[in-house]
Structure 1
Amino acid sequence: MSRSPTRPARTGRQHGHGHRHFVGTYGLLTLTVLLFLLFCVLLPDTFPTLDNVSSILSGQSIPAILALGVTIPVASGKFDLSIGYALGLAHVMVLFLIVEKGWPWPLACLTVVAGGALVGAVNGAIVEFARIDAFIATLGTGSMMYAVTGWVTDGSRIVPGPEGLPAAFTGLYDARFLGLPAPAFYVLGLVVVLWVVLERLPFGRYLYVIGSNPRAAEIVGIPTHRYCVYAFACSGTVAGFAGVLLAAQQQIGNPSVGLDYLLPAFVGALLGSTAIRPGRANAVGTLVAVTVLAVGLAGIGQLGAQFWATPLFNGATLLLAVGLAGYSARRRLRTDAAGTAGDGAPGTGAGTGSGTGTTL
């Protein structure tokens, strides 16, 4: 008899928790749909068209790929600030090898992607074994990459000759499949790969545990240093691939172009950690975040916003993303702790709770 009065209250709490869970998981996706419908109403002649959708998919593919690359070290609790510089160096090196050295474009692309993986591994080694904070280490290595970019280009642009670049190389970006730009399918393919790696394989689970509680990860026997180096190497590989696509898109080597992609990449990765799997960086959430950013930027651009609206939008969204990501992580940990206490098994929840969220 003493338990019956508490059942409605418990049911109400469960209902409230379910509502908050839905909003936290799918709120950003819902916002994307609402934004798209809003701009369709405000811009009925230009926004809901196949050309506009193709333009959004094509124009935001490289930021999306770079954001997915950022997501990997973020899952381990680390931040790779060199990824924008790595993008700039990769796209310059591809054109340098093709235009200046006469390399076959497939060999140049593979070399650059492998070089990105090597640079990422060096970043990870500096962070893990030299014990330098990831912010400082990657900012320093990024500055060195920018110096190498300037040295390779001598501070000027790399411009192909009259014969231009191989059509197969530029087709990496210009090709279409099923009526949509090919880069959109690269993004989807990378999302699927990262989803499998992060959500279904031990590698991803280890990264999440390390990002949530490195000390606990070491206690249970996870080689934290090695897996963090792997995370940075994967991030560098993705940056190298994004650099190849950027070279195929622009077809001119610009030594300063990579810096423009750094902020959008972090906005996408951090904002994505508030969706689908709130409190932890995840590939599908990053895709949703990049989509809402792309729709928002395209809409305000077509409404006639000034050039400074884009950095203002990105900066404000980054602040919001960091705040929401931290809140989601703390709420997830509190929910896990409360659930463990409610089940009457306080000794079994710490490991589970620490392994499911990334504290930002």
Structure 2
Amino acid sequence: MTPLRPPRSPLGRRFGHLVGAYGLVALTVLLFLAFSLALPDTFPTLDNVSAVLSNHSVPAVLALGVTLPIATGKFDLSIGYGLGLAHVVTMQLIVAEGWLWPVTCLVVLLGGAVAGTVNGLVVAYARIDSFIATLGTGSVMYAFTGWITDGARIVPGPHGLPAAFTDLYDSRFLGLPVPALYVLALTAVLWVLLERLPLGRYLYVIGSNPRAAELVGIPTRRYVVRAFTGSGLVVGIAGVLLAAQQQIGNPSVGMDYLLPAFVGALLGSTAIRPGRANAPGTLVAVTVLAVGLAGIGQLGAQFWVTPLFNGSTLLIAVGLAGYAARRQLQRRRAQPSRPVPEPPGTAS
């Protein structure tokens, strides 16, 4: 008979929680210090930090967007195609159609939300697996991208894009690049939605046990659709930001951001609130990836090192996310259950 393991002391449990929740934060600091020692003249400079924050703003926004479906246990593989379509539509409307850039941005954001809603309806009501459904809708988005561009790039005229539009990416505020502030603001919004509002609790319950969510009266399909709608809206934001960054419409650029976004979201589910997708954890994970990739690049690594780094990190992230989820489930079983907030529309 296997002897029972002695219970861990409160201090040991506390230490384990701190390591699990803030290990990625510590890793970020260690990576930054290591690369700063290896590259003292280039890495720990304000210009380099600003460049890292700017260059990784679009992957960070996408990672935050995909966090919403992951919270419900679903995956949105259409975000890469959606990003490509959103940024191409932005360039097409401004360059070829002559639309005002604020109107264009609004239309693209609404279009992203509509595309996300379609994804949610297909997944929730047609009951098609989210991998297959979003891969299919993503292919449709890619077809629209090819139809709009005819496979060619959209290049602005001699006067370029409106300065106010490119300032969405190029400007600074309080010494920081504005894209970094967008990421921080989006992180704060998603933190409130997921951690401080009933919506987040419903999404987490659906993600952990859809059957239990239905039994307590949560309309699971409706909230899955809302999660995908939010993801599509964030993809629209990323598309506008990408257009302001690249200032050219490239019909094949979107898929380059798919893997980093999922790496950030899945790795983020092992930090801050281990065992579930959360916005602060995603931000920390994206920061780890940004620091690592920037350091590797400045050390002169070959071009193939970046996909190797992303792919390896994704495998590690999936493994760690599964382990953290199992640990969280074990803790829930060992503790008294907490009541789920009463779904809207039910009698008190």
Structure 1 SS opposite 2:264: helix
1:342-357 alignment runs, 5 A limit: 349=337
What is the count of residue pairs matched by the alignment? 336
How many Å separate the matches in 1 of 2:95 and 2:31? 43
Q: Deviations over 1:150-181 (max 9, x none)?
A: 00000000001111110000010001111111
Q: Deviations over 1:166-223 (max 9, x none)?
A: 0000010001111111000000000000000000001111000000000000010101
Q: Does 1:40 align with 2:36?
A: yes
1:293-308 alignment runs, 5 A limit: 293-308=289-304
Tell me by how many angstroms 1:253 deviates.
Answer: 0.2
Q: Is the 8 A contact 1:198 1:204 kept in 2?
A: yes
Equivalent AA in structure 1 for residue 331 of structure 2 = T
Match of 1:148 among 133, 144, 151: 144
Q: Does 1:159 align with 2:148?
A: no
Tell me by how many angstroms 1:351 deviates.
Answer: 6.7
Tell me by how many angstroms 1:11 deviates.
Answer: 7.4
Equivalent AA in structure 2 for residue 152 of structure 1 = I
Tell me by how many angstroms 1:338 deviates.
Answer: 2.3
1:116-155 alignment runs, 5 A limit: 116-155=112-151
- Structure 2 residue aligned with 1:322: 318
Q: Does 1:265 align with 2:282?
A: no
Tell me by how many angstroms 1:18 deviates.
Answer: 1.7
Match of 2:87 among 91, 96, 115: 91
- Structure 2 residue aligned with 1:25: 21
Q: Does 1:13 align with 2:6?
A: no
How many Å separate the matches in 2 of 1:12 and 1:145? 52
Tell me by how many angstroms 1:336 deviates.
Answer: 2.0
Match of 2:218 among 217, 222, 243: 222
How many Å separate the matches in 2 of 1:321 and 1:120? 25
Q: Deviations over 1:246-303 (max 9, x none)?
A: 0001011000000000000000000000000000000000000000000000001101
Q: Is the 8 A contact 1:57 1:184 kept in 2?
A: yes
How many Å separate the matches in 2 of 1:332 and 1:12? 16
How many Å separate the matches in 2 of 1:31 and 1:169? 36
Structure 2 SS opposite 1:163: coil
- Structure 2 residue aligned with 1:103: 99
- Structure 1 residue aligned with 2:330: 334
Stretches of structure 2 that go unaligned for 5 or more consecutive residues are 341-348
Tell me by how many angstroms 1:335 deviates.
Answer: 1.7
How many Å separate the matches in 1 of 2:97 and 2:23? 50
Q: Deviations over 1:41-99 (max 9, x none)?
A: 11100000000000000000000000000001100110000011000000000000011
Structure 2 SS opposite 1:118: helix
Tell me by how many angstroms 1:350 deviates.
Answer: 8.4
Tell me by how many angstroms 1:20 deviates.
Answer: 1.3
1:272-283 alignment runs, 5 A limit: 272-283=268-279
Match of 2:75 among 61, 64, 79: 79
- Structure 1 residue aligned with 2:245: 249
Q: Is the 8 A contact 1:118 1:233 kept in 2?
A: yes
- Distance change in 2, residues 1:155/1:212 (3 Å): same
- After the TM superposition, list the runs of 4 or more consecutive aligned residues in structure 1 that deviate by more than 2 angstroms: 9-16, 349-352
Q: Is the 8 A contact 1:337 1:350 kept in 2?
A: no
How many Å separate the matches in 1 of 2:12 and 2:318? 25
Equivalent AA in structure 2 for residue 332 of structure 1 = Q
- Structure 2 residue aligned with 1:172: 168
Equivalent AA in structure 1 for residue 248 of structure 2 = I
How many Å separate the matches in 1 of 2:40 and 2:94? 44
Q: TM-score, normalised by structure 2?
A: 0.95
Q: Is the 8 A contact 1:271 1:325 kept in 2?
A: yes
How many Å separate the matches in 1 of 2:327 and 2:177? 39
Q: Is the 8 A contact 1:149 1:255 kept in 2?
A: yes
How many Å separate the matches in 1 of 2:232 and 2:267? 21
